[in-house]
């Protein structure tokens, strides 16, 4: 709502109210529009305790439409609060707010709740406010009770309730692997004040430390399957590598059957081989004729050798040395003859 001036008079603010949550006291009002220019505001309050009335200082030159009085208003006492608008030397009438008593009139806000799952339990952390100053002020002036509501995250679930004055609580006797929803409300029994509920938080419980039988069996079977597959795979890989290595470095072949049969029999007992050796011995011969110049000692030597040329020459030389009658240039050697093979 915006208030406009009529006949050049600065109008008074409207809808002046105290907004107080967790003893955070903020006085608010609607803005005033004045034709000559922007206006400022002044605030004053009166504190009454029993029959005594104290007047407080006036707060002037406020440019906004609210004033935080948390630091100057004591939780104890009744307060009369007023606001007026001002433009230069022109002022409006005082606009009065309803009387305000912080302890009775402040609203207990929604608690700040944290939920953590632990071994089949839900651990709750509760604080009346996210502001440390507000929390300390509330604790010093109120004895707060917390109502904890929790239920399974399912249709038509039963709602369980726990009352506590502590800032932490553990929900037990919960079903494992189940989603539960939690909501907390703070209240003050002495002043009969019920606070605003916290947002609903849902969390799933974990195992309670006792693994179900089906999970144990499943884990065992899975482990054995993995081990079996792993061992089989390793064995197959080594077997394949071994086969490839043998194929490359040790190729397999079959020895001919006729050679196997031949090598299995002794050579000395083979008449065919003996006859061949005799025949070869007869054919591989060398003829050597030696003639001496001395008539009365002339002799001829005929030697048959079944040996090679180099050995034959060595034998001839040895024979001549034994005779001692062969002069150089008077020796005749007949070259060995070989059977062409």
Q: Is the pLDDT of residue 145 over 70?
A: yes
> How sure is the predictor about 244, in pLDDT bands with cuts at 50, 70 and 90?
confident
The residues that bridge with 182 in the sheet, in sequence order, are 150, 201
Contact 12, 1 (CB under 8 A): no
Contact 123, 168 (CB under 8 A): yes
The structure tokens 């039988």 sit at: 213
> How far is residue 159 from each of residues 76, 162, 182, measured CA to CA in Å?
38, 10, 10
Average pLDDT of span 67-77: 91
The residues that bridge with 288 in the sheet, in sequence order, are 303
Contact 151, 177 (CB under 8 A): no
> How sure is the predictor about 275, in pLDDT bands with cuts at 50, 70 and 90?
low
| Phi, psi of 257, deg, nearest 5 | -65, -40
pLDDT at 47: 85
Token pair recorded at residue 248: 């490359």
* pTM tops 0.75, yes or no: no
Q: Which of 19-23, 136-140, 248-252 has the lowest mean pLDDT?
A: 248-252
> How sure is the predictor about 206, in pLDDT bands with cuts at 50, 70 and 90?
confident
Q: Residue 109: CB partners within 8 Å, gap ≥ 6?
A: 21, 22, 128, 129, 195, 196
The residues that bridge with 11 in the sheet, in sequence order, are none
pLDDT at 316: 58
> How sure is the predictor about 266, in pLDDT bands with cuts at 50, 70 and 90?
low
pLDDT in tens, 148-183: 999 999 988 999 999 999 999 999 989 888 999 999
> How sure is the predictor about 241, in pLDDT bands with cuts at 50, 70 and 90?
confident
Contact 122, 180 (CB under 8 A): yes
**Which three-class secondary structure state does DSSP give residue 76?**
coil
More confident residue, 234 or 252: 234
Straight-line distance from the first to the last Cα atom of the chain, in angstroms, rounded to the nearest whole number? 137
- d(C-alpha 318, C-alpha 182), whole Å: 127
Q: Is the pLDDT of residue 202 over 60?
A: yes
Q: For strand 3-4 and strand 32-33, is the pairing parallel, antiparallel, or unpaired?
A: parallel
Query: In a 10 Å sphere around its CB, with 0-12 CB exposed, 13-18 middle and 19+ buried, how is residue 61 labelled?
Result: exposed
| Phi, psi of 204, deg, nearest 5 | -95, 130
**Which three-class secondary structure state does DSSP give residue 33?**
strand
| Phi, psi of 96, deg, nearest 5 | -100, 140
DSSP summary character for residue 330: -
- d(C-alpha 50, C-alpha 48), whole Å: 6
Contact 334, 290 (CB under 8 A): no
* Domains within the chain, CATH numbers bracketed: 3-105 (2.60.40.10), 112-204 (2.60.40.10), 267-323 (no CATH)
> How far is residue 235 from each of residues 76, 119, 230, 248, measured CA to CA in Å?
85, 42, 9, 20
Q: Cite the DSSP H helix spans in the chain.
A: 102-105, 132-141, 213-249, 257-263, 271-283, 309-323
**Helices then strands (H, E): number in the chain?**
6, 21
């Amino acid at each position: 709502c915006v208030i406009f001036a009529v006949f050049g008079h600065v109008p008074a603010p409207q809808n002046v109210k105290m907004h107080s949550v967790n003893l955070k006291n903020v006085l608010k009002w609607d803005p005033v529009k004045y034709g000559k220019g922007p206006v400022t505001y002044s605030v004053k309050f009166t504190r009454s305790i029993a029959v005594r009335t104290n007047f407080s200082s006036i707060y002037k030159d406020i440019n906004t439409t609210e004033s935080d009085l948390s630091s100057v208003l004591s939780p104890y006492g009744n307060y009369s609060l007023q606001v007026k608008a001002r433009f230069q030397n022109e002022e409006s009438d005082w606009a009065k707010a309803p009387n305000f008593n912080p302890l009775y009139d402040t609203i207990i806000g929604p608690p700040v709740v944290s939920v953590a799952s632990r071994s089949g339990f839900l651990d709750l952390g509760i604080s009346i406010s996210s502001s440390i100053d507000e929390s300390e002020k509330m604790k010093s002036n109120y004895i707060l009770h917390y109502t904890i509501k929790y239920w399974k995250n399912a249709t038509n679930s039963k709602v369980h309730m726990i009352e506590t004055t502590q800032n932490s609580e553990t929900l037990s006797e919960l079903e494992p692997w189940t989603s539960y929803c939690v909501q907390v409300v703070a209240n003050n029994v002495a002043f009969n004040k019920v606070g605003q509920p916290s947002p609903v938080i849902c969390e799933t419980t974990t195992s309670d430390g006792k693994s179900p039988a089906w999970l144990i069996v499943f884990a065992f079977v899975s482990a054995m399957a993995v081990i079996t597959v792993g061992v089989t795979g390793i064995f197959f890989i080594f077997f394949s590598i071994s086969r490839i290595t043998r194929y490359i470095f040790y190729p397999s072949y079959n020895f001919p059957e006729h050679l196997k049969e031949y090598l299995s029999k002794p050579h000395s007992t083979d008449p065919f081989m003996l006859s061949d050796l005799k025949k070869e011995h007869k054919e591989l011969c060398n003829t050597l004729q030696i003639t001496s110049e001395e008539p009365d000692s002339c002799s001829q030597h005929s030697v048959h050798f079944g040996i090679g040329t180099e050995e034959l020459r060595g034998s001839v030389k040895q024979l001549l040395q034994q005779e001692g009658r062969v002069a150089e240039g008077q020796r005749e050697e007949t070259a060995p003859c070989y059977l062409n093979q």
